[in-house]
Structure 1
Amino acid sequence: MDQPQADADIPYDLIKDGSDAQFMADVMEVSKTVPVIVDFWAPWCGPCKQLGPALENVVRKAAGKVRMVKINVDENPGISGQLQVRSIPAVFAFKDGKPVDAFNGALPESQLQAFVDKLTGDMDIGKEVKQLVARAENSLELGDMGGAAQDFAAALGLEQTNPEALGGMARVYLANDDIEGAKGVLEMVTPEDQDHQAIAGVRAAIDLAQNAPSDDDMAPLRATVTANPADMDARFTLSEALSGKGDVAGAMDELFVILETELNWKEQKARKMLLKLFEVAGATSELTAKGRRRLSSLLFR
């Protein structure tokens, strides 16, 4: 049974069915002159039926810069076993007789295009990384941690030491209360990027998270502020606790109550904390932009 195709007129030598027996000739040898994408699939696999036609469309648009070989794993389990394919669809890219890239699952066509463009050298990697990071940042602000992690990971797949992507991925770990995971990501930061604003912001967030109170301690803090709204020390403590728990917006709100009461409270302690939270939120985040506008209105009133 053949996998569904996007176009029955696709040339045989551009997109073809392969087998274990023909793998050396169809993939390894051909990849020494042109990149070859291998799609491991099976007739019973729903996601395979989604991926196949979309991937064929992208390969065909490449106009000969890449070839595609489709291998039914039910009929040909040998090569997929050697490549340790555990789930399908599984796609591998070969170049110069070696696997150079891979992914699992049915991806949207835009990501398939990026996969092929990277393989053929047609991708503007810098531009693609910026787009992925921007989309991931938006997902992060919306609370979509899965989407953010996927796009940050894709950006790092293209540029392993990109500071914005590393900082973003660390923030995803922090959002999931995994401080050690965030620290692990930061270990990949190059020496020259240690002071990058994206990395500095995450380090500040880690510092706050490490000193965060337990959930049981939050209720008394809130109760104290509710009972004594003019107790700015208690409010500042609550702001520190909220920031440590990842509620940067809530922490900023408490600081603004202090600043609206006394701009230079305790030698600008609240203002300095607010600036640190801007760093944590990220220089380009909407939260920081709104916070800076609000602070400016207090400074120049």
Structure 2
Amino acid sequence: MNPIQEVNSPYIVEVTLDNVRDLIQQSMERPVVFDFWADWCAPCKALLPVLSKLAVEYNGGFILAKVDTEDQALAQIVMQFGIRSLPTVYVLHNGQPVDGFSGAQPESEIRKLLNKYCQPVQETEAELSAKEQAEQLIEAGQLEQAKMLLNDALGESPEDYELFLMQANVCAQLGDAESAKAIINGLPHDHKNSAKAKEVLARLSFSEIIKDAPDLATLEAAVEEDGSHSQARFWLAGRLVMAGNYEEAMKQLLTLMRQDRGYGDDTARKTLVKLFDMLGNENPLVGTYRRKLYQALY
């Protein structure tokens, strides 16, 4: 944890090369405030608590994205934004920088800027349960944030076994099969043998597919850009399975099989059949896509 990170919130994100594209995409739905800072910068340390407080108060009205300019891996991002002094703040909206400022600013001025693009979410509208918040984060691909939120929720509700199953599912999606198995094995007998627990464990068999894969948003962009990229499409199917989006995973595997039957020694077909076996014949998707598979083969 960096020295000036004090607030944990699903709406405060550390920028990395892996999530920057996703953050820009999120700005199509709500503003993303990029804060460029450095640990040696005293005004940065004054500004960040104000921005963090507002991110919590606005409760999803905007995302605060913190960029550590001393991280050499982020040098290209710093250069692309044309950062010349610290702190510098840019507001991205609809994928484009639309506003910003340099230097520490009073809270009242920052509120005026934010209110051009968003408003605080009223508590009556924003009282989502930990499960609902985690589900939203998982759907958005913010798995680390979902994991932190679930850890906090379990500290308050240590006997909420649905939260444990969600936590195991997040670990599985992050490729941490060992932790996912340990969580499920630690559950009481009835919960350990529930359909949801069995589904998470079965899904772990797909974790090897995505072991070296980029994140979901990156893969979706790669496939959209080049529909013949077999490896990206196969990884995308694996990511979709881990995220529980089985129908879209089946579509991707079926497309891959039709386009490149020889890929990985007929891996697309074999993986599709493996997915059928995981879900079971009672799942309506299995019947539908077995027919589609048969039609594609014959």
**TM-score of the superposition, structure 1-length normalised?**
0.37
Larger relative contact order (Cα-Cα within 8 Å, sequence gap ≥ 6): 2
Q: Higher helix share goes to which structure?
A: 1
Q: TM-score, normalised by structure 2?
A: 0.38
